[in-house]
Structure 1
Amino acid sequence: MKKLMIQGNKPLTGEVTISGAKNSVVALIPAAILADSPVTLEGVPDIQDVHSLLEILAIMGVKSTFKNNTLIIDPTEIVSIPMPTGKINSLRASYYFMGALLGKFGEGVVGLPGGCNLGPRPINLHIKGFEALGVQVTNEHGAMYLRSPEEGLKGTRIFMDMVSIGATINVILAAVRAKGRTIIENAAREPEIIDVATLLNNMGAKIRGAGTNEIRIDGVEQLHGCRHTIIPDRIEAGTYLALAAAVGNGVLVKNVIHEHLDSFLSKLEEMGVEMEIGEDSIFVHPAKDLKAISVKTFPYPGLATDLQQPLTPLLLKAKGTSEVVDTIYPKRVNHIPELVRLGAKASIEGNMMIIQESPQLSGVEVAASDLRAGACLVIAGLMATGTTKISQVDHILRGYDNIIEKLSAMGADIQMIEE
């Protein structure tokens, strides 16, 4: 069993470079199959989710080469085959193959997605969007069977009942080759959506309004290969910014688009974290005399739900009592009992997490219940005295590129062990 072992209470210094965005790349890889010639993606993070998606591509006959963070995807020999089980189930982002296969072949059979267990993630918004385009959707033995009418998909107006990144991207993937114009209202506005639309437009699609709450897509006959550089990962950036404030002795975080982190940076400033914000980097000064704050997650441009957990250990250093409410995934609280094991004064009351100043954390054995809870425990382990062992590390490796190497370079005592 793999575990991360951290000898904590060592100040970190130096710099860290942020990788390409996980939440972009898991949609860009399925989007690439819509092309009729090779697609080159630059700045691809070397994470488990990427390797899982490449295994799914291989099953479809899509060739790929991945080295030095550059991924070449050649979809010229792709075949439409049913994927009811296996890899497709273990990875939540595999649901983007639904939209991509509809756009490519007008049909698909895809197993229901997995990923981190954060409570219900309704797939019904995706299905509603597909059905509006004319798709017949049936659930047979736990797999989604998607079939277009003979005349193909037809552009339409779709109102999203709630803001959903996944459903917005999936409908875009299906609509880029539909006949006529598709308008998505109440669309998600995340930077990752702009990234996907940019790739598709470079491939020959006609998408306008990505990044606003109304996206217009005029269907095209075909899409071609191109070269595209992925945006930096704002969640990884936020994780290292929180870590730098919690255990840093002056840390430079590089390859950051700070506009993507406005709401998060304002929370750090409210706490009293001193930062120098450059054009594509942020220097975090050693943090002292931090103040407790209230945190609430919202869809972009609000504070990202994915940054709620990495921010929590920093709140343990703030004087007073902080309150955290996740309006997007209220069940995203599994990191709290693990922090308590490390000595944190933290509790869950209804849908609110109460975090009190906890001057002393002590290393123990804890478990990462999901990806961002894992990031939270890594930061807490670096803050704690003694040895912290984190199990279920696969969750962390799913989304953080070279985390051990990046932390070691700043002076952390962290290693992977087998027990």
Structure 2
Amino acid sequence: MDYFAVEGGRPLEGRVFVHGAKNSALPLLAATLLADGESVLHNCPDLTDISAALGILSGLGCRVRREGATVMVDPTCRRGHTIPDELMGQMRASVLFLGSLLARDGEAVACWPGGCALGARPIDLHIRAFQALGAQVRSWNGRLSFYGPRLHGRRLALPIPSVGATENAMLAACGAQGITVIDNPAREPEIVDLQGFLRSMGAQVSGAGTGEITIQGGCRLHAGEYTVMADRIVAATYLCAVAAAGGEGELLGTQGEDLGPVLAALEAAGCETGRAPNRLWIRRRGPLGGVGSLCTGPYPAFPTDAQPLLAAALAGGTGKSRITETIFDRRFRYTEGLCAMGAAIQVEGDTAYILGRPLHGAQVAATDLRGGAALTVAALGAQGPSRIWGLDHVDRGYEGLETALAALGGNIRRETGP
């Protein structure tokens, strides 16, 4: 079993490239099913979740090729509309393939999706969107089937701006006759990226990033070529690593235009940050303070995926912070690992109270993707050696996290042990 061996307590200095966004690449890969021909995605990260998505496409009969960070998908010879259970259960984003299959075939079958155990994460909004477009839904023995050979466009109002439901509604609406309008959609940058890829395929989609998305469905889509956006949560991870350990780091491939709340929080804690075309830098020379009160929320609020990363840095600082989580009800599970490193964190309901103080190395285990990254961030700022287990979680969203953090000057390596 692999683990990260980290020797913390020394400032970082270096530069690192921010790879493509997992949360953008996954819906884009699902969208390739809509094309008549081979689509090309550049800057596609090499992650276990991406491998699972490519496995789903291959299992459906698509021709899939990867050359470095470029992935080619040709769905013209695909067969069937059932996603294999073992692949569907590996990640939550597998549910996005249902929207594309429904749009293209009028039918889709799968088991319930997997992913990180972060509490209640129902897909009822996805199902309601499919039903609103005219699909019939059946659930039995842990499986779901959708049947809608004649989807029709209509106005959909999401009760909450769910990212996955917005993406699935966009994908399914591409196969519906007429105009679909999504009210109260998610406004995340990844939604804008999906719109960009769909447009490259000839889809008529507008409004992503605003309070209303419009899709003119029923058009045949051709192959598209697109570059996946940089991963803003990976960028936040590198920023928080420098904040935790001190020093200076430069991030290439992004300029942080979608990281406003994260940069603001780090600056409030005493870090300096700066932006330039296609790069972003951070510096911490003095002590890391607190941020007062902070609350996660849908974009453009502070992202829930960056919350554990910031908390890990603040735990080893000198100030007081209060972080309220509004998205996932089990997001704070990572705090047990931080407390094993000496952190003073008290969780009450949906709020964590952090009193910064020096951390020490420890053996800890990741329980989810961002929690594993948070423990790694904390270990870089802690005094002494740490071992971070549970890297299967981390590898779902980071391409060589240890290599990237080493490029920033961290003393970290991947090892195998009992």
TM-score (norm 1): 0.97
Query: In the alignment, is the contact (CA less than 8 A) between 2:243 and 2:288 conserved in 1?
Result: no
1:159 pairs with 132, 150, 157, which one? Answer: 157
Q: Distance between the aligned counterparts of 1:319 and 1:386, measured in 2?
A: 19
Give 3-state SS (helix, strand or coil) of 2:94's partner: helix
DSSP 3-state at the match of 1:259: coil
Write the deviation string for residues 105-127 of structure 1: whole angstroms up to 9, x where unpaired: 01000111110000011211001
What is the rounded CA distance, in whole Å, between the counterparts of 1:72 and 1:283 in structure 2? Answer: 33
2:40 aligns with 40
Describe the superposition over 1:227-255 as per-residue Cα deviations: whole angstroms up to 9, x where unpaired.
Answer: 10011111111111111122242211111
**Are 2:244 and 2:317, in contact at CA under 8 Å, matched by a contact in 1?**
no
Point out the more displaced range, 286-295 or 366-375. Answer: 286-295
Deviation, structure 1 residue 84? 5.4
SS in 2 for 1:98: helix
Q: For each residue in 1:181-205, what CA deviation from the matched residue of structure 2 results, as whole angstroms up to 9, or x when unmatched?
A: 0010011100000101110111011
Equivalent position amino acid for 1:127 in 2: I
CA distance in 2, matches of 1:40, 1:354: 46
Amino acid at match of 2:319: G
Is the contact between residue 13 and residue 248 of structure 2 (CA under 8 Å) also seen in structure 1?
A: yes
Deviation at 1:2, TM superposition (A): 1.8
Q: Distance in 2 between matches of 1:257 and 1:173?
A: 29
Return 164-173 or 264-273, whichever deviates more.
264-273
Give the conservation status (yes or no) of the 8 Å contact 1:245–1:287: no
Give, in angstroms, the shift of residue 97 of structure 1: 0.7
2:14 equivalent in structure 1: 14
- 1:379 corresponds to: 377
- Is the Cα contact below 8 Å between 1:84 and 1:109 reproduced in 2? no
Distance 1:71 1:38 in 2: 10
Cα deviation, residue 362, structure 1: 1.6
Q: Which residue of 2 aligns with 1:328?
A: 327
Percent identity reads 39
Structure 1, 219-228 or 178-187: larger mean CA deviation = 219-228
Query: Which letter maps to 1:387?
Result: P
TM superposition shift of 1:350 = 2.2
State the Cα distance separating 1:12 from its structure 2 match: 1.6
Aligned partners of 1:205 and 1:220 also within 8 Å: no
C-alpha distance 257-277 of structure 1, shift in aligned 2 (>3 A) = closer
Q: How many residues align?
A: 416
Q: Which amino acid aligns with 2:236?
A: G
Q: Which runs of 5+ in 1 are unaligned?
A: none
| Residue 350 (structure 1) aligns with | 349
Aligned to 1:267: 265
> 1:411, CA displacement in angstroms?
2.6
Q: Indicate conservation of the 8 Å contact 2:161/2:186, yes or no.
A: yes
Name the residue aligned to 2:52.
Answer: 52
- Cα separation, 2, equivalents of 1:110 and 1:257: 39
Q: Deviations over 1:357-399 (max 9, x none)?
A: 112x221110101000011000111112222111111100100
Contact 1:8 1:387 in 2 (8 A): yes
How large is the Cα RMSD of the aligned pairs? 1.2
Deviations 1:148-201 (A, max 9, x none): 14xx10001110011100000001000012100001001110000010111011
Q: CA deviation at 1:290?
A: 3.1
Report the Cα distance in structure 1 between the residues aligned to 2:30 and 2:108, rounded to whole angstroms: 13
Other-structure match for 2:116: 116
TM superposition score normalised by structure 2: 0.97
For 1:102 and 1:290, the matched residues in 2 are separated by 50
- Where do residues 383-398 of structure 1 align in structure 2 (5 Å cutoff)? 383-398=381-396
- Following the alignment from structure 1 to structure 2, what is the Cα–Cα distance between the partners of residues 290 and 362? 16
Q: Is the Cα–Cα contact under 8 Å of residues 374 and 393 in structure 1 kept in the other structure?
A: yes
| Structure 2 SS opposite 1:292 | coil
Aligned with 2:236 (options 227, 235, 238) = 238
Pick from 354, 361, 364: which aligns with 1:363?
A: 361
